[in-house]
Structure 1
Amino acid sequence: MKVMVIVRATKSSEAGEMPSEQLLTEMGNFNEELSKAGIFLAAEGLHPSSNGARIRFSGKDRTVTDGPFTETKELIAGFWLWKVSSMQEAIDWVTRCPNPMTEDSDIEIRQVFEFDDFGEALTPELREQEERVQTEVAERNNNAQGIPASKDEDEIRSLAKAWSGSLESKDVDAMLTGYSEDILLYDVKPPYRLKGLEAYRANWEACLPYFPAKMKSEHRDFTVTVDGDVAFAHGLHHVVPIDEESPVGQTWLRITIGYQRTEGEWRVMHEHVSVPFDPMTEKVSYITDEVIAETI
């Protein structure tokens, strides 16, 4: 689901007070976290309403009123667009956000309408038109940045996002969606390999009872490379327990995933999950946030 995360205006934002270097740094770091988690779509800050205008619609009449507008609490100072698995995920991220204002402020979360929400009113012709417009806009924006649009990469990221949501709900059947019958898994624990969808299922069914009742599944530095009908992704993954103590999630796991397009759909053919191993101590080396920060 997509959500718009709305930053409400305050007296300082309407007065045109600019954020400090410290706040810009904090917000930049937060946006970077959103991007690495794969949920960041867009974000913009807005000038005060004194630089804007309001148009009133009444039948065929249009009345223009120049800013500023007095009802500060009803105004918007900025927004994000995120793609999340649930409203709760959006709420969790907002609670981690630095206060975007120098005084007390409010952030509102609103779900964005998807095509299916409009029902029969959105005819196939209208849907095709809207999809065409969105594709043209995406291609124009990407070309302006020198980046070719990649529907394949979006599909693969969507698979990873859906898998995370299924893991959080411990829905093994849903976790298997998008996996090949011949999946080959090199897991972080014995045996050294598992082959086939049923072995993959049994592996997760044996593991999930040891996971927290509630948890957050997170990817980091998830990079996708596509070449024809073959693709691979690599990055880090972990789960974060919610409202309980659990050893799960103490380390990020390194992941590499191989994909192949079969009958028009991407399928996971191979997964490799690991943590570093120190041969001098014969112990694994945890990948913590501190270790990652030192490596960058």
Structure 2
Amino acid sequence: MRAVHRSWFDRTAARDLDGVLAHIAEDVVSYEHEAPLQYTGRERVRAVCRMGLAAAPGAVTWDVPELEVMARDDLAVAWGLNRMTAETADGTTEESWSRGTRVFRRRDGEWQMIHQHVSYPYDLGTGEARADLRP
């Protein structure tokens, strides 16, 4: 699981969309930051990743500094706080944190993400997402 995540971090920094998707199952179900509530299938997740990379003209990184992993047989779960950075057109770097949980199944000897849930907490008073929070 840690190797899969390191690959995602490296492939994101390299803007290698095919590499980012290499460990994502065709039948993945992903709950992303933005609407709609659910994205089903690798191609839908590809579109989200493509939009994310296109939104930042400069360097883009993400990592999970305190990644937790539990694996049993052919099923694994990984979770932690996601840190994303993006260099804007004016050269400044923006950072955001969100929550992430990912479920994997080993298929034909390789780990594939079959489910992902990423989210921002929200303000109870306003109902607005809180992408400005830091651990």
Supply the RMSD in Å over aligned alpha carbons.
1.7
Measured in 1, the distance between the counterparts of 2:108 and 2:73 equals 13
Which digits, 9 at most, give the CA deviation of each residue in 1:134-165, with x for residues without a partner?
xxxxxxxxxxxxxxxxxxxxxx1000000111
Which digits, 9 at most, give the CA deviation of each residue in 1:87-122, with x for residues without a partner?
xxxxxxxxxxxxxxxxxxxxxxxxxxxxxxxxxxxx
* 269, 279, 287: which one aligns with 2:133: 287
Report if the CA contact (8 A) 1:212-1:246 is conserved: no
* 63, 79, 83: which one aligns with 1:238: 83
- Greater share of helix residues, 1 or 2? 1
Question: Is 1:157 the equivalent of 2:2?
Answer: yes
Measured in 1, the distance between the counterparts of 2:42 and 2:60 equals 24
* 49, 52, 59: which one aligns with 1:214: 59
Instruction: Using the TM superposition, give the Cα deviation of residue 178 of structure 1 relative to its aligned residue in structure 2, in angstroms.
Output: 1.1
* Runs of 4 or more above 6 Å deviation: none
Structure number with bigger Rg: 1
Report if the CA contact (8 A) 1:216-1:242 is conserved: no
The residue number in structure 1 matching 2:31 is 186
Q: Which has the higher contact order (CA 8 A, sep 6+)?
A: 2
The residue number in structure 2 matching 1:269 is 114
- Greater share of strand residues, 1 or 2? 2
Instruction: Using the TM superposition, give the Cα deviation of residue 212 of structure 1 relative to its aligned residue in structure 2, in angstroms.
Output: 4.1
Unaligned runs of 5+ in 1: 1-155
Instruction: Using the TM superposition, give the Cα deviation of residue 253 of structure 1 relative to its aligned residue in structure 2, in angstroms.
Output: 1.2
TM-score by length of 2: 0.89
Measured in 2, the distance between the counterparts of 1:178 and 1:284 equals 29
Instruction: Using the TM superposition, give the Cα deviation of residue 242 of structure 1 relative to its aligned residue in structure 2, in angstroms.
Output: 5.3
Report if the CA contact (8 A) 2:68-2:79 is conserved: yes
Unaligned runs of 5+ in 2: none
The residue number in structure 1 matching 2:68 is 223
Measured in 1, the distance between the counterparts of 2:23 and 2:61 equals 21
The residue number in structure 1 matching 2:48 is 203
Report if the CA contact (8 A) 1:222-1:235 is conserved: yes
Measured in 2, the distance between the counterparts of 1:254 and 1:212 equals 24
Measured in 2, the distance between the counterparts of 1:234 and 1:280 equals 27
Instruction: Using the TM superposition, give the Cα deviation of residue 265 of structure 1 relative to its aligned residue in structure 2, in angstroms.
Output: 1.2
Which digits, 9 at most, give the CA deviation of each residue in 1:52-84, with x for residues without a partner?
xxxxxxxxxxxxxxxxxxxxxxxxxxxxxxxxx
Measured in 2, the distance between the counterparts of 1:252 and 1:272 equals 14
Report if the CA contact (8 A) 2:104-2:113 is conserved: yes
TM-score by length of 1: 0.42
- How many equivalent residue pairs? 132
Report if the CA contact (8 A) 2:77-2:104 is conserved: yes
Which digits, 9 at most, give the CA deviation of each residue in 1:246-265, with x for residues without a partner?
54x2x211100000111111
The residue number in structure 1 matching 2:21 is 176
The percent of aligned pairs where both chains have the same amino acid is: 27
